[in-house]
A and B are shown apart, each in its own frame.
Chain A
Amino acid sequence: MEKMPAWADVVLIPLISLILAAAISALVILFIGESPAEALNLMVTGALGSTYGWGYTLYYATNFIFTGLAVTVAFHARLFNIGGEGQAMIGGLGVAVACLYVPWPHWSLALVAACISGAVFGAAWAAIPAWLQAKRGSHIVITTIMFNFIAAAVLNYLLVNVMRPTGSMDPATERFAETIHLPTLHELLAPFSIAFSKAPPANVSFLVAILACVAVWALIWRTRLGYEIRAFGHTETGAVYAGISPVKIIVVTMLISGGLAGLMGINNVMGEAERLVLNATEGAGFIGIAVALMGRGHPAGVFLSAILFGFLYQGGAELALWTSIPRELIVVIQALVILFTGALDNMVRMPLQQVFAALRRKEST
């Protein structure tokens, strides 16, 4: 196959895909009688035009970084973990357990405990599909998606029957203690006399997410485990040749993947709601798949595409607020972005490759 320069692969293709998605979205908006220019303006100012908007964008992005990294790690072992949603739900449960039942003297200790607990819960939720895949050959796509439903049911049961404070009508746990309130970006930036809006829920978890990006990068490209994961992902026969146990790699990779998804709980459960509510993940586990696809297996790409999807989420909410564009259309726009950047990748890639081949031919003559 004729090769393109690396920058075209990494920058140009996602960019063109995005523009295509935006163009079709614009047509749809035009079709329902709104102005696409106005809509774009609203989305950009709403999501990026103020620290208020940025606060929400980064909050959503934090969720997507965790779930996107989860999918990315599994991708490197050629495992398609689409159970990020369930793993994040159960991870949130782990976070809630750590926050509710231990009287932490300071938020930082609570955060460390919540990270561990969330990751362990998320990993445990991924462990069963992983074991089934490794030992019984049950396809991980099927099992992880089924486990999403089971997770939702488990959470439903626990919140309604076990964790709901007596007397409350709301299927949610009680509020976490005030002492373990995670500092928001407003509070974090105040000492540096940087004004940041008070309202949005973006919090210190964003920094944890960045750390997680660095950690995943180091894991994949610097450690022996990462080496083995990538080798297994590229060729299972090769892994067996090299004495790498497929069972071990599948299980360990899925544990890491589930753990990363579970970590999301520190942002949405501990950082935002400060209690565990039903459906706290709001589909972030699925968005993580799109984020990972767009991120092209690299944590830096995951970071950028998570910010993009954060922007779409927040900008979309603004659209729904200020125009007659229905909320559902926002989902359509997001779906188009996913469709073009993920599923229809080759639609852009092939013609672009031909363009580059033609350019090169011209140069050589």
Chain B
Amino acid sequence: MQDRNGPESATRPGDSPAPAVQPPKAAERGMSSAQPAIELKGISKAFGPVQANKDISISVAPGTIHGIIGENGAGKSTLMSILYGFYRADRGEIFINGQKADITDSQAAIAAGIGMVFQHFKLVENFTVLENVILGAEDGRLLRPSLAKARRELKALASEYGLDVDPDAVIHDIGVGFQQRVEILKALYRQADILILDEPTGVLTPAEADQLFRILHRLKDEGKTIILITHKLREIMEATDTVSVMRRGEMVATRKTSDTGPEELAELMVGRKVLLRVDKTPAKPGADVLQIEDLKVTDESGVLRLKGIDLTLKAGEILGLAGVAGNGQSELLEVLGGMLPAVGTVTGRVRMKGEVLPLSGAAGDGKARRAAHIGHVPEDRQRAGLVMDFFAWENIAFGYHADAGYQRSGLFMDNQGLRREAADKMDRYDVRPPDPWLKAKSFSGGNQQKIVLAREIERKPSLLLVGQPTRGVDIGAIEFIHREIVALRDAGAAILLVSVELDEILSLSDRIAVMFDGKIMGERLPGETDEKELGLLMAGMNNAASGEAA
């Protein structure tokens, strides 16, 4: 969208596409208050042989929060993309406030009163809030009148919905929670009556998420209709009035939220009974495996990312590192996994079973770490853990590809052996489809992660670094992945788990450390703490008794 808006507004600044007030719509709204705000009838969409949406019909009442939940690849995003004009449905009709709408592109969607807040924000980082709000919705060649108008409207919106943001703040200076508000303001400025939010809490702290939900309720009270796409059952239960469940391209059920519960929803999503809690025995910690003393990392721009980390990890335990993304967890995992910063410095002392791990040069690279029996499931499996354009069988050795076992003779690799191994591991880790000749990008997130886990866990590492193991992974696969991680722990490995999902940290860890701003804020035992306390630590408040996070 950012790309789309930029050039468009640059080439034809004269016409103001979206936000011009549409009198007929207001009239419609008045007449058809009993009509559903959105009604989809028989929407189907296929991508090649894949039927992403099969004959989907839903109806969303105005002034409600409607959740759409489903596993990855269930077709939620496709459906919303059709509603927002990114794709055209092969079949089916869309009605907005009872009127048949022909949504050919996102401009048409905006004109129909639909606003979308994407999971990854579409903001220009070095623009102010005000500039971002008018981007693509300028009223003329000169910016001043538009800016002045936007300033007035923003003020009105702020008081109406409690969406306070400093209009002159530059985007990269404000937190993600505020950035998200700017996205919401952008939609409201464009007269959106229907707001679609795609996985909105992925980047937020629990406190920020609570604030978001308060805002959504306020918007609802003012008559807006909200569609919330999420994979988190808890958010559905907390925030929505009705919920629709999607599975494999079909809408399998719509429930009133008050009439259902997480167990039923999970079962509907997956199509079978799901164990929501991790089934594990108490840890039996053994000897120290990893000792980190005063680890400091400076990045290429001279910023101290890790400000002296001290951690000890024992064999047979899972240490969960909680924290909002960007507080140093990534850097810690990377340094331990041998992804040293190309520019910048790493100091401190890291020992693995007593042996010092080098923190610079080739002796500290990924190969050396693997040789030291450290497995690494990286946070970003699409850019680091897998080569998306490689076949599954090529990925099954990624990182271990220089091992003698994978070489045939001299220079050549044993590709046949790799394919056999891939077929075998994909079978055992239930990767679907179990076809080594598919490229990594053709698998769903969960199956991609299973490929990475198969590769790393089968090496029987003494230490496994796991970053965001279930990000973008469907519920059915989450259960499997958690089981494998616990099994590796029970086999005596030390596991360092980084996750932004507090649920995951709480249910999987034997010990929890919370990171904030490059430091460890404290350690807790999962049985003796709760989300609220961890949330405060994640926000940098050491004194857990100090009340509400604000």
Kindly state whether residue B272 has any CB partner on chain A within 8 Å.
no
The answer to whether B28 has its CB under 8 Å from any CB of chain A is no
Interface of A is mostly: helix
With A243-B365, A361-B46 given, is the CB distance from A235 to B383 under 8 Å? yes
A171 to B390, CA, bound (A): 50
Asked if B399 CB lies within 8 Å of chain A CBs, one says: yes
User: B283: CB under 8 A from chain A?
Assistant: no
Is B411 an interface residue when CB atoms closer than 8 A count as contact? yes
Tell me the minimal C-beta distance from B332 to chain A in angstroms. 15
Interface string of A206-228 (1 = CB under 8 A from B): 00000000000010001111011
Cα distance, A225 to B383, chains bound together (Å)? 20
Contact with A along B282-306 (1 / 0, CB 8 A): 0000000000000000000000000
The smallest beta-carbon distance between A127 and chain B, in angstroms, is 20
In the complex, which residues of chain A have a beta carbon less than 8 angstroms from the beta carbon of B48? 2-3, 360
Residue of B342, B369, B388, B413 near A224 (CB, 8 A) is B413
**Minimum C-beta distance from B3 to chain A (A):** 14
Q: Most chain-B Cβ atoms within 10 A of its Cβ — which of A237, A243, A360?
A: A243
Give the distance in Å from the alpha carbon of A235 to the alpha carbon of B394 in the complex: 14
Closest to B408 in A: A222
Bound-complex Cα distance A134 to B383 (A): 20
Does A245 interact with chain B (Cβ within 8 Å)? yes
B387–A238 CB distance below 8 A = yes
Knowing A243-B338, A243-B367, the reply to whether A361 touches B90 (Cβ < 8 A) is: yes
Contact present for B411 and A223 (CB under 8 Å): yes
- Given A242-B401, A246-B342, A235:B412 Cβ within 8 A: no
A2 to B88, CA, bound (A): 12
Query: Please, which residues of chain B bring their CB within 8 A of the CB of A234?
Result: 387-390
Q: Mark B511-534, 1 if CB is under 8 A from A, else 0.
A: 000000000000000000000000
- Cβ-defined contact, A224 with B401, below 8 A: yes
A231 at the interface (CB under 8 A from B): yes
| Contact in complex: A241, B384 (CB < 8 Å) | yes
Given known A3-B48, A231-B390, A243-B338, contact A222–B362 (CB-CB < 8 A): no
Whether, in the assembled complex, A230 has its beta carbon less than 8 Å from a beta carbon of chain B, the answer is: yes
The answer to whether residues A231 and B398 also contact, given A245-B362, A364-B46 and a CB cut-off of 8 A, is yes
CB B437 to nearest CB in A, in angstroms, measures: 13
Complex Cα spacing A222 to B410, Å: 11
When the two chains form the complex, which single residue of B365, B380, B406 contacts A237, counting CB atoms closer than 8 Å? B380
Which of B338, B368, B386, B411 is the one whose CB lies under 8 Å from A238? B386
Instruction: List A contacts of B337 (CB < 8 A).
Output: 241
Give chain B residues whose Cβ lies under 8 Å from the Cβ of A364. 46
Residue on A nearest B384 in the bound complex, by CB: A241
Q: Which residues of A contact B119 (CB under 8 A)?
A: none
Complex CA distance for A360 and B406, rounded to whole angstroms = 41
Q: For residue B369, which residues in chain A have a CB less than 8 angstroms away from its CB?
A: 243
Q: Complex formed: what's the CA distance from A240 to B343 in Å?
A: 13
CB within 8 A of A240: which of B339, B368, B406, B407? B339
Q: Are A245 and B365 in contact (CB under 8 A)?
A: yes
Complex CA gap A242/B339 in Å reads 9
- B residues 63-102 near A (Cβ < 8 Å) are 90
Complexed CA–CA distance, A206 and B401 (Å): 35
Q: Are A243 and B412 in touch, CB under 8 angstroms?
A: no
- Output the nearest chain B residue to A224 by Cβ-Cβ distance: B413
Asked if A237 contacts B383 (CB within 8 A), the reply is yes
Q: Known interface pairs A240-B366, A242-B399, A364-B46. Does A235 touch B387 (Cβ–Cβ under 8 Å)?
A: yes
Count of residues in A whose CB is under 8 Å from the partner chain: 25
Q: Compute how far the CA of A246 lies from the CA of B394 in the bound complex, rounded to whole angstroms.
A: 19
Q: How far is the CA of A234 from the CA of B384 in the complex (A)?
A: 10
Please, how many angstroms separate the alpha-carbon atoms of A237 and B168 in the complex?
Answer: 35
Chain B nearest Cβ from A192, distance in angstroms: 33
Closest to B48 in A: A3
B491 interface residue, CB < 8 Å from A? Answer: no
Interface residues of B in 494-510 (CB under 8 A from A): none
For residue B342, which residues in chain A have a CB less than 8 angstroms away from its CB?
240, 246
B contact residues around A222 at 8 Å (CB): 411-413, 415
Interface flag for B469 (CB, 8 Å) = no
Asked whether, in the complex, the Cβ of B398 is within 8 Å of the Cβ of A238, the reply is yes
Most-contacted residue by chain B among A225, A230, A242, A245 (CB, 10 A) = A242
Q: Which residues of A contact B365 (CB under 8 A)?
A: 240, 243, 245
Question: Once the chains are docked, how many angstroms separate the CA of A244 from the CA of B339?
Answer: 10
A356 to chain B, nearest CB (A): 9
Q: Contacts of B366 on A, CB cut-off 8 Å?
A: 240-244
B339 to chain A: which residues have CB within 8 Å? 237, 240-241
Q: How far is the CA of A352 from the CA of B369 in the complex (A)?
A: 47
Q: CB-CB < 8 A to A243: which residues of B?
A: 338, 365-370, 399, 402
Interface string of B360-388 (1 = CB under 8 A from A): 00100111111000001010100111111
**A244 CB to nearest B CB, Å:** 8
Residue from A2, A218, A231, A245 in contact with B387 in the complex, judged by beta carbons closer than 8 Å: A231
Q: Which residues of B contact A241 (CB under 8 A)?
A: 337-339, 366, 376, 378, 384-385, 399
Query: A235 touches which one: B376, B388, B399 (CB < 8 A)?
Result: B388
Contacts of B387 in A (CB 8 A): 230-231, 234-235, 238
Kindly list chain B residues whose C-beta atoms are within 8 Å of the C-beta of A228.
Answer: 401
Q: By the criterion CB–CB under 8 Å, are B401 and A238 in contact?
A: no
Taken together as a complex, chains A and B put the C-alpha atoms of A246 and B365 apart, in Å, by 11
Between-chain CB contacts (< 8 Å), 27 pairs: A2-B47, A2-B48, A3-B48, A223-B413, A224-B401, A224-B402, A224-B406, A224-B413, A227-B413, A230-B387, A234-B388, A234-B390, A235-B387, A237-B380, A238-B387, A240-B339, A240-B365, A240-B384, A241-B376, A241-B384, A241-B399, A242-B366, A242-B401, A243-B367, A243-B370, A243-B399, A364-B46
16 new A-B pairs (CB below 8 Å) besides A227-B394, A240-B342, A243-B370? A3-B47, A218-B412, A222-B413, A223-B411, A223-B412, A227-B413, A231-B390, A231-B398, A234-B390, A235-B387, A238-B384, A238-B387, A240-B384, A242-B367, A243-B365, A243-B368
B interface residues, Cβ below 8 angstroms from A = 46-48, 90, 337-339, 342, 362, 365-370, 376, 378, 380, 383-390, 394, 398-399, 401-402, 406-407, 411-413, 415
